Structure 1
């Protein structure tokens, strides 16, 4: 049960902050946001505030912000259609009733002759029993009501495609960018709570039963030399140990001001790096932690770890492209859940770091220049900047549709691999 809660919290946070980035920049650009959704599929929970409906949906495979004008606007009034109009005090149309008109008293029923719901915002038509063509101006926040459901019109200046290129770019880029910001904040907070690794060659926790413990090394020992080589940083120590599996090493330390010497043989540990097997030495120690670090140390740690994880994920993507990393190793929602379950058992700090890694991964994946992803849309913006005009929306939409279909196919394959790996 705890792992389910952990998965829901992590997934919800990653999607929420990603979509929040889109949402905030869309609102700043003046774009009408019709819906802010977490999850896909049927609605579980929904409420409306101001212009936006906020929904929680059943399937935990993403989320979205539905912005006016991204897709073709569905609101239209064709000639000959009979619509009921409710006017405000300024004589502008506030509500357009599409059906069930008998439920609304004091309607002005009009047979539509012409309508512009984007730019001029008017409805031309003939009232019942009248032969004179009348023009009704629409309020910029007029709503259409069909089967009791209200949908606000989107004047051209409130639509996504009416905005300047840099505004559209920032609105789309803000989603992945927010994932990097979230990871940085989580890692910085983690540093404040758990401490910052000390870069000096001071031993922290010594794992019972591993070579360091067996040799007599203790927490707090300051390593000064290994195999005659001077050690000044923790990286110096780990580099030598990692490169010396199975080799007996002389380690000089200072303990309580006294110099001591120990003989340690790092055990060999094998791990896979793409198609290669790599053997490294493990001594069984952690580096010392700076407890209660300053805000600057925590911020620096958050930024450094965010950068390191970003580089690591890009390297793995490079190995995937070159064939060094198999697609079978990719994890979908099922795999992420199982990994979250394992990490949750290790403790809240490990869970926080796992969440940060997933957030960076989500940000990077969305920035890839693939159709249907944020990166694909940003690529089209780049082409628009070079051409001086946007690509035909129908052609772009078709590219994104095909890309979305391929991504869904990939998700099915990855999910099936996860099921086979963990349950079959």
Structure 2
């Protein structure tokens, strides 16, 4: 799938899902729906069914549902050049004639549908492809600080040694290793390794907490290779490419993926030299590491993913896939909210914002990586779209909800003129953000 086509699919599907939420919520409260539009600006083509006109407009970067009497939407149409100034008789099915709760439901339904889409996409990917886990059984790192009593002999196992058997059970992936350690009967158990061949005995703990500590104490080994690079990330700006193999960070040798990522995470905001091997040549790339906050602690982020071949997939039942889908949606929501917080507080530069160009690059890369990767990207972008639409900026859903909140507090709606002025301000803010994001991408692409 080409980058252009992938971008159209992502934007088209997610905008349709968002506007479908508004549309169905309007139907649920019996509001008059005059137009359902995918895209902004002049109409390209469309048709009318019942009372509603369904159209495709020329700018595919959004969409709207036009309700009868919805002053905010009339303002939006005027800003887009599609307004109708002909007089109209108010009716009981007008948007403004509905109670505040019904209008709030209509306005928030697009965001709700985007979040539901993300949950559904993550759930489907897990149900169809399984839970991703390392395909290796090689030991990368043993963290002796977390090892429960009776398991200390794991410290003597060399990095790169391969798990062969846990008790009487053979293991073929890191997921097998984790399940074997967590689910084995409590008491003594033999662990067999290869490369070099050796066996040790440990005691499996009784409590679930200690079993989880045991699993967390042993990490699988993955080569510090670059599978993909996030467009606009520090790694991208520093010149890292898929296929590169990292051998050192800030002069410290790294033998595997987790050592590499641990070095990056421990250096938030630092400018470091990353040593890589590319097609047999050793290169050094200076990179300034981004800052992210996880549970109140600042960590470094560079914007790379490990090679896809490092993972295998284990099937799970639908109920477990739904739980994974929920957790993934919550985790992505927290990540995006954290990014916005850091953007506002100065922890992240506005220069990290990306435009439709970045979206296109990420969409195309995700599509090239496979259907599961593409669906994951669509789910992530759907959450992104939902959160951005909730920002209290007039012309966005969050701005409309802010108008409703003020109406509820005051006991009467703001005047049309006041809403119009604030919507013009909101329009300028959104355009300004889009121009900044587009300029960031041009600067990045031109190498300035």
1:173-195 CA-partner distances (Å, limit 9, x unpaired): 10111110110011111111111
Q: Distance in 2 between the 1:397 and 1:333 partners?
A: 28
- Gapped runs of 5+ residues in structure 1? 77-116, 119-154, 198-202, 250-262
Relative to 1, partners in 2 of residues 1:416 and 1:402: Cα closer, same or farther, differing over 3 Å? same
Corresponding residue number in structure 2 for 1:133: none
**CA shift for structure 1 position 363:** 0.3
**CA shift for structure 1 position 267:** 3.2
Q: Distance in 2 between the 1:238 and 1:305 partners?
A: 23
Indicate which of 405, 412, 424 corresponds to 1:382.
Answer: 405
2:291 is aligned with 1:274 = yes
Corresponding residue number in structure 1 for 2:113: 178
**RMSD of aligned C-alpha atoms?**
3.8
Say how many residue pairs are matched: 324
2:114 is aligned with 1:192 = no
- Gapped runs of 5+ residues in structure 2? 75-83, 143-157, 164-171, 183-201, 223-248, 266-288, 293-297
Corresponding residue number in structure 2 for 1:399: 422
- Is the partner of 1:60 in helix, strand or coil? strand
2:354 is aligned with 1:354 = no
**Residue pair 2:122, 2:376 contacting (<8 A) in 1 also:** yes
Corresponding residue number in structure 1 for 2:18: 18
**CA shift for structure 1 position 74:** 3.0
2:216 is aligned with 1:236 = yes
| TM-score, normalisation: structure 2 | 0.64
* Structure having the higher Rg: 1
Relative to 1, partners in 2 of residues 1:302 and 1:235: Cα closer, same or farther, differing over 3 Å? farther
Which is bigger in relative contact order (C-alpha 8 A, separation at least 6)? Answer: 2
Relative to 1, partners in 2 of residues 1:396 and 1:289: Cα closer, same or farther, differing over 3 Å? same
Corresponding residue number in structure 1 for 2:359: 336
Corresponding residue number in structure 1 for 2:173: 220
**Residue pair 1:184, 1:303 contacting (<8 A) in 2 also:** yes
Q: Bigger CA drift: 35-44 or 185-194?
A: 35-44
**CA shift for structure 1 position 309:** 0.4
1:86-116 CA-partner distances (Å, limit 9, x unpaired): xxxxxxxxxxxxxxxxxxxxxxxxxxxxxxx
1:200-251 CA-partner distances (Å, limit 9, x unpaired): xxx631399x9999814364352559xx996636972478999xx99999xx
Corresponding residue number in structure 2 for 1:317: 340
Indicate which of 68, 85, 91 corresponds to 1:74.
Answer: 85
> Which has more helix, going by share of residues?
2
**CA shift for structure 1 position 274:** 2.6
Q: Distance in 1 between the 2:221 and 2:214 partners?
A: 11
Q: Bigger CA drift: 338-347 or 18-27?
A: 338-347
Relative to 1, partners in 2 of residues 1:340 and 1:264: Cα closer, same or farther, differing over 3 Å? closer
**Residue pair 2:407, 2:414 contacting (<8 A) in 1 also:** yes
**CA shift for structure 1 position 196:** 2.6
**Residue pair 1:70, 1:160 contacting (<8 A) in 2 also:** yes
- Is the partner of 1:35 in helix, strand or coil? strand
> Which has more strand, going by share of residues?
1
Relative to 1, partners in 2 of residues 1:18 and 1:237: Cα closer, same or farther, differing over 3 Å? farther
1:119-144 CA-partner distances (Å, limit 9, x unpaired): xxxxxxxxxxxxxxxxxxxxxxxxxx
Corresponding residue number in structure 2 for 1:90: none
**CA shift for structure 1 position 41:** 2.7
Corresponding residue number in structure 2 for 1:307: 330
Relative to 1, partners in 2 of residues 1:3 and 1:264: Cα closer, same or farther, differing over 3 Å? closer
- Is the partner of 1:215 in helix, strand or coil? coil
- Is the partner of 1:45 in helix, strand or coil? strand
Relative to 1, partners in 2 of residues 1:415 and 1:235: Cα closer, same or farther, differing over 3 Å? farther
2:97 is aligned with 1:162 = yes
Q: Distance in 2 between the 1:298 and 1:364 partners?
A: 24
